[in-house]
Structure 1
Amino acid sequence: MTNDSIKSETEVAPRDPSAVGTIPWAIKGELILNCNCTVFCPCVVSLGKHPPTEGYCQAWAGVRIDEGHYGDADLSGLNVGLVLEIPGLMARGNWKAAAYIDERASDAAYEGLIDVFSGKARGTTGLFKVLVSEFLGAERAPVLFETEGKTRRLIVGKQIHGEVVPVGGADSDQDIVVTNTEYWMGPDITVATATKGRVRAFGRVWDFDGRSAEICQIDWKGPR
């Protein structure tokens, strides 16, 4: 899909606010995440019952949407950047979150992605509505998600510069993958580390080079 075809989705009728939470949506693609944990994030297997290695979580994430829609709005080819802050145990909530939405998104796609990543759209990301106590906001931005070999790279203007690579295993051709989990992002999580993890956004100044990272193939949907 070309950039022009994505922009042309402005013909889609504006959403009805009362319909939020009932609109069918789906996203397939890849998510990368880098947090301040010094070793692989314990939340993947403990499902938030074990605290982050530093006692609190600060993270950035990037989502590449290969195929997706929100109602009639096409989301395919768009990227999203996220900033997350969790004060303690993930399952206890009180999260703060912010989203950077691909500047190529149509108005309908932009609003739909805000609904998805704020949890209002329900479904896979519906837990955000419960866990996020403060949504810091959403902004349109140039969101670049690149893949070069095994390296994944997220660049969101001057706000997020991130790069993650899988942690090497005994067989260099095989990634280390935690499989068959109940993690909300997806059942199979590739163990990774950040070669660059810089955030300068919403008053946060974070540098997580060398810290924990994750790579996950996502297949999300809603509202159920």
Structure 2
Amino acid sequence: MNAPQTKWSFEADFLQACNCDYGCPCEFSAPPTRGFCEGTGAWRIIQGHFGDVQLDGITVGFAAHWPNAIHEGNGTLVVLIDERANAKQREALLTICSGQAGGLPFEILATTISKVLDPIFAPVDFQLNGRESSVRIGNALAVAMEPIKNPVTGEPESVRVEHATGFIFKSAEATSGKECRINAPGLQFSWPDKAAFVTRVNYGN
């Protein structure tokens, strides 16, 4: 009989950027723009816990490559964690992100990953500023956003995606990811000026 899973939950500000065109067809259950998916993101936890381990104020990021659509699997993943996290917090976040603790979105995403790279622990600079938010984790991960510009007038657009059945977010502001970069052992890519989102999420098991 399996041991009961540790209860966890967190509320977090979330930034996401990937190699798809604005809006990201994955949010519409369509194939990725370029036939494969390379994505990055970070959650800055406002309040959260894993059992009795508090996670408030800690940022955890990711970068991943899937050779086809995400649901077709065979992905490569690296997890990046705020170096300020202590040993118990690091272990808790790695357990959550691996899907072993259950709960969305991680238990679904974990089924699509076949290679997990060594985690990276580095300083975090997370700037929440609406459609101009950004996050950097050491020299490894960088996501920076700006508003999508109207192609005729050049004026900034305000676009939202409402995804009631979405398991990563239900609602988000769609932006342009002027920077979407990972430089980690075993995973490197850069996709400027593609799809990005900023939102707040609540997860748990």
1:58 pairs with one of 38, 53, 57: 38
The aligned runs of 1:75-224 (5 Å cut-off) are: 75-124=55-104, 125-148=106-129, 150-167=131-148, 175-222=158-205
| Secondary structure of residue in 1 paired with 2:28 | helix
Unaligned runs of 5+ in 1: 1-17
Task: Name the aligned partner's letter for residue 133 of structure 1.
Answer: S
Measure how far apart 1:94 and its partner are: 1.4
- Partners in 2 of 1:194 and 1:89 — Cα distance? 20
Deviations 1:106-128 (A, max 9, x none): 21111010011111111112113
Contact 1:97 1:137 in 2 (8 A): no
Please give the alpha-carbon distance, in whole angstroms, between the structure 2 residues aligned to 1:75 and 1:174.
35
Q: 2:3 and 2:138 mapped to 1: Cα distance?
A: 30
User: Match for 2:143: what amino acid?
Assistant: G
Q: Displacement, 1:21? A: 6.5
Contact 2:131/2:198 (<8 A) preserved: no
Number of positions where the alignment pairs a residue of Structure 1 with one of Structure 2: 201
Identity %, equivalent residues? 25
2:130·2:198 contact (CA, 8 Å) conserved in 1?
no
Q: In structure 2, what is the Cα distance between the partners aligned to 1:166 and 1:189?
A: 13
Partner of 1:10: none
Task: For residue 38 of structure 1, give the secondary structure of its aligned residue in structure 2.
Answer: coil
- 8 Å contact kept, 1:178–1:189: yes
Residue 215 of structure 1: how far off its partner (Å): 1.6
Specify whether residues 181 and 110 from structure 1 end up closer, same or farther in structure 2 by C-alpha distance, changes over 3 A only.
same
Q: CA deviation at 1:173?
A: 9.7
- For residues 49 and 95 of structure 2, the distance between their equivalents in structure 1, rounded to whole angstroms, comes to 12
The equivalent of 1:41 in structure 2 is 24
CA distance 1:205–1:95, shift in 2 (3 Å): closer
CA contact (8 A) 2:66 2:75 kept: yes
TM-score (ref. length: structure 2): 0.89
Flag the 1:168–1:28 CA change in 2: closer, same or farther, 3 A.
Answer: farther
Evaluate the alpha carbon distance shift between residue 115 and residue 21 of structure 1 in structure 2; reply closer, same or farther with a 3 A threshold: farther
| TM-score when normalising by structure 1 | 0.81
Tell me, yes or no, if the aligned pair for 1:166 and 1:190 is still in contact at 8 Å.
Answer: no
Relative to structure 1, is the Cα distance of residues 136 and 156 closer, same or farther in structure 2, using a 3 angstrom cutoff?
A: same
Q: Does the Cα contact within 8 Å between 2:76 and 2:114 map onto a contact in 1?
A: yes
Q: Which residue of 2 aligns with 1:28?
A: 11
**Structure 2 unmatched runs, 5+:** none
SS of alignment partner, residue 123 of structure 1: coil
RMSD: 2.3
Q: Which is helix-richer, 1 or 2?
A: 1
> Match for residue 14 of structure 1?
none
